[in-house]
Amino acid sequence: MSKDLLTLPHPDERTVMEGYSQNPLDFFKNCAREFGEIVPVQLEDDLICLLTNPEHITEVLKNRVLFVKGKDLQILHRFLGNGLITSEGDFWQRQRRLTQPVFHQQRIEDYGAVMVEYTARILQTWREDEVRDVYNDMMRLTFNIVMKTLFDQDMTDNEANQILYSVEEAMNWYETQSVTNYADQGELTPADIRYQSAMEQLDQAMYAMIQQRREQGEMKRDLLSMLMQVQDADDGSKMSDLQLRDEAASLITAGHETTSNTLSWTWMLLAQHPQVREKLTQELKTVLDGRLPTLEDLPSLVYTTMIIKESMRLYPAVTDLSREATQDCEIGGYFIPKGCTLIMSQWVMHRDPRYFEDPEVFIPERWENDIEKQIPRGVYFPFGDGPRFCIGKSFAMMEAVLILATIAQKWKLELAPDCKIELQPSITLRPKHGIKVILKQV
Ligand code: HEM
């Protein structure tokens, strides 16, 4: 007989109201440290439950039928439609199978040269002592890389601005929608209106891209052509323009925001830790000796890779995953009612002193000796886990390491004296005021 969740220690209503709204990241971290491995939290009308036992986390993420994506995703649905991130069931499985080949190791290896070339291109405009918002630069760069590699689009600055603005507006709007307030609320606010107009712009850009490809008649080796050609095994139908739009918008959003945030936090950490930065410079000198990196260099860029892993530990681009129970079930001996939202937080687990020594400190060396394989599954999961784990994981790791190596061997980024760092946890963990840096040649 399973036990009642609410017999477990949990925060009172006032602590939830104040803590969650002020700082959801620290609120969950404090809950975990204070109340244990399963923490029920009554958030307005919803019962949510924070899990911090790695076995429970793995159990939930593995079972995509019993645990579907959480309610917060329903808000995203309006923006990303029925694409890979938001869809469920057989439909999701089919779309995942169709999209997978574009992310096969062999295929993504072709993308390495584009990643380095596009990075080298933006560096041509950088000048000594210039002050830049490197978050903005990383956003634009990773966006252009996704558009080129997956959609064979060379974006003009205007086109890029238009889509990036739409995505930004959608993210801002998402933040104003509370998890418990996802139903339509009647009257439109100015933020709703801005969001709708941004969505119209995004749709226009996506449909124009699809239309152009149809008119060209020529099919390419990229994701867009592949999705256009695929036929349903049962009825022979092809994807509609709406479906193509949803998949494209999902991959563009998931494929640039996450990597650009990871790189932005990495630049901040490097500026704050000169001894790490020095070690990175040494590795780049030894491995690259002034030339641009290639795919073949990746196995030798050991410290560079450890920096990215450590940066994703402290500042995971996705700070938590949520799943909703589709049936009554049990976790760790406790009764989980149908509809209960389970939270698995990278932010909490990645900073857990049970698994990481000095968990709040940036120490890339902790990833030496394959430590990743020694910590239990369910502790470090920047790319998620189970069947819904990130389809772009290898793409993103390769991209982050190549971009970091290309830039860091030429430029040192120091934080500008007026650089204001504030976390903005939204769909992804963003620096609220960007990351303002001063460029210095290495
Ligand atoms: C540092 C970079 C990245 C991080 C930290 C990251 C993280 C994640 C996480 C945590 C999930 C799982 C979400 C869940 O289970 O609810 C996910 C899913 C996904 N990611 Fe990534 N991601 C990154 C880069 C990318 C890139 C480069 C792409 C594509 C080009 C991408 C495409 C996707 C897609 C399509 C999904 C949904 C997969 C599915 O449900 O089948 N991601 N990502």
Cα(391) to ligand 1 centroid in Å equals 6
Q: Give me the sign of the Cα torsion angle 223, 198, 315, 433.
A: positive
Q: Which atom of ligand 1 is nearest to the CA of 317?
A: 5
User: Does residue 391 have its Cβ closer than 6 Å to ligand 1?
Assistant: yes
* pLDDT given for residue 183 in this prediction: 46
Series of mean pLDDT values for 10-residue runs along the chain (442 residues)? 87 85 91 94 89 98 95 79 92 90 85 95 96 96 94 85 85 68 62 85 90 85 86 79 92 93 98 98 97 96 98 97 96 95 97 96 95 94 98 96 98 97 92 97 95
Q: What mean pLDDT, rounded, does the chain reach?
A: 91
Say what the pLDDT of residue 179 is. Answer: 45
In the chain, the amino acid numbered 302 is V
321 close to 434: Cβ distance less than 8 angstroms = no
DSSP assignment letter at 292: P
Give the pLDDT confidence score for residue 182 in this predicted structure.
Answer: 44
Identify the pLDDT of residue 362.
98
In short, whether 81's Cβ falls inside 6 Å of ligand 1 is no
Asked whether 436 lines ligand 1 (CB < 6 A), one says no
The residue whose CA has the least distance to atom 17 of ligand 1 is: 390
Q: Which atom of ligand 1 is nearest to the CA of 256?
A: 27
Is the shortest distance between the CB of 395 and ligand 1 below 6 Å? yes
Whether residue 85 has its Cβ less than 6 Å from ligand 1: yes
pLDDT at 223: 87
pLDDT at 186: 64
Position in ligand 1 atom list of the atom nearest CA 69: 16
Whole-angstrom distance, CA of residue 425 vs CA of residue 214? 39
**Ligand 1 closest atom vs CA 389:** 12
Element (H, E) at 61: helix 54-62
Report the pLDDT value the prediction gives residue 184, as an integer from 0 to 100: 52
Rounded to the nearest angstrom, the distance between the alpha carbon of 326 and the centre of ligand 1 is 23
Ligand 1 pocket, 396 CB below 6 A? yes
Q: How far is the CA of 148 from the centre of ligand 1 (A)?
A: 18
Rounded to the nearest angstrom, the distance between the alpha carbon of 427 and the centre of ligand 1 is: 11
| Contacts with 172 (C-beta within 8 Å, 6 or more apart), sequence order | 191, 195
Report the separation in Å between the CA atom of 137 and the middle of ligand 1, taken as the mean of its atom positions: 21
- Measure 165 CA to ligand 1 centroid, in angstroms: 21
For 147-157, letters b (16+ CB in 10 Å) and e give bbbbbebebee
Q: Which residue from 144, 247, 390, 402 has its CB within 8 A of the most atoms of ligand 1, so it is best to mutate?
A: 390
Please tell me the predicted confidence (pLDDT) of residue 406: 98
Domains of the chain, first to last:
5-441 (1.10.630.10)
Task: Please give the structure tokens belonging to residue 162.
Answer: 């238009």
Kindly give the number of the ligand 1 atom that is closest to the alpha carbon of 381.
10
